[in-house]
Homo-oligomer: A and B are copies of this chain.
Amino acid sequence: MNRIPIISLLNPSPGDSHNIRQTLTSSSTFSLKKDTYEADILLKMRNELMKLHSSICCTNIENGEVNFILNKVLQGLKILSSDQVFSKPDRVVIQNISQLTAIIVRLVNKKEDIINLQKGLVDPKEIPEAISKEKCGIIFNVVTQDMMENGRKGGSSSYKGHRLPKKHVQLLESWYKNNIENPYLNDTDIRILMRETGFSRSQVKNWVANKRRKDKHSTISPELSDLLAN
């Protein structure tokens, strides 16, 4: 699942991108299962955008040129995202790309208004009407295709909020029901459930922990709740 959290698009936090280069080139703690070729594409795209950004801010640049570069970048992203799930450092780069692209698209849209403002042609009060003259030719779609369903080879693709397959969750449910008196996993349990469900160690543990909490805060007894669910 190639998704960039909305919050980091709107409020870019410097802390995250602190050591991109390091992690990208020296394939460190993260499990980078890609060759450097693709990482290079991402870096190249960003550098392209950085240059574009710097030039659009301060000089006159043709809209056609802007569109050309943006489309190339989007194409590149599309190709990459259809092929694989991004690793964490790559997602940071993509976040950068997305932010820059969004900035540039908006700058292009508002450029005319701004120029007019500077020339004093327009009273600021009048902008509300003039603001939408330009058409927005480029839509940057942050959320790429959901690969949960069809793809799902190798990659973990485990993000917050993504539902686990119902079929496998039912195995965890039934384990929990059988051990309702003492719903704590021992090492054997974990290994069995991992094999049966295909989930990772932490997924099994997290699920049971979250389940315990849910029961605790439930007003009615877990057994009754189980009955009502049918």
A residues bordering B, Cβ < 8 Å? 6, 9-21, 24, 43, 46-47, 50-51, 53-54, 57-58, 93, 96, 99, 102-103, 106-107, 109-110, 113-114, 117-118, 124-125, 127-129, 131-136, 139-142, 228
**Chain B residue at minimum C-beta to C-beta distance from A111:** B57
Residues on B with beta carbons closer than 8 Å to the beta carbon of A141: 11
A133 to B19, CA, bound (A): 11
Q: Is A14 a contact partner of B124 (Cβ separation < 8 A)?
A: no
Whether the Cβ atoms of A14 and B132 lie closer than 8 Å is yes
Q: Contact check, A14 vs B136: say whether CB atoms are below 8 A apart.
A: yes
Q: Which residues of B contact A12 (CB under 8 A)?
A: 106, 109, 136
- A107: B residues at CB distance < 8 A: 57, 103
A15 to chain B, nearest CB (A): 7
Contact between B53 and A110 (Cβ–Cβ < 8 Å)?
A: yes
Most interface-central of A10, A118, A134 (chain B CB within 10 A): A10
The interface residues of chain B lying within 8 Å CB-to-CB of A15 are 132
Q: Beyond A10-B142, A57-B107, A99-B106, list 13 extra A-B contacts (CB 8 Å).
A: A6-B6, A10-B102, A10-B140, A12-B106, A15-B132, A17-B131, A50-B113, A50-B117, A50-B124, A53-B114, A54-B117, A58-B118, A103-B103
Contact A11–B134 (Cβ < 8 Å)? no
What copy number does this chain have within its complex?
2
Count chain B CB atoms within 10 A of each CB in A102, A109, A140 and give the residue with the most: A102
Contacting A131 at CB < 8 Å: which of B96, B118, B139? B96
Is the CB–CB distance between A128 and B10 below 8 Å? no
In whole angstroms, how far apart are the Cα atoms of A6 and B140 in the complex? 13
User: Does B124 lie within 8 Å of A51, measured CB to CB?
Assistant: yes
Assess whether B118 is in contact with A54, with CB atoms less than 8 Å apart: yes
A57 and B11 contact, CB distance less than 8 A: no
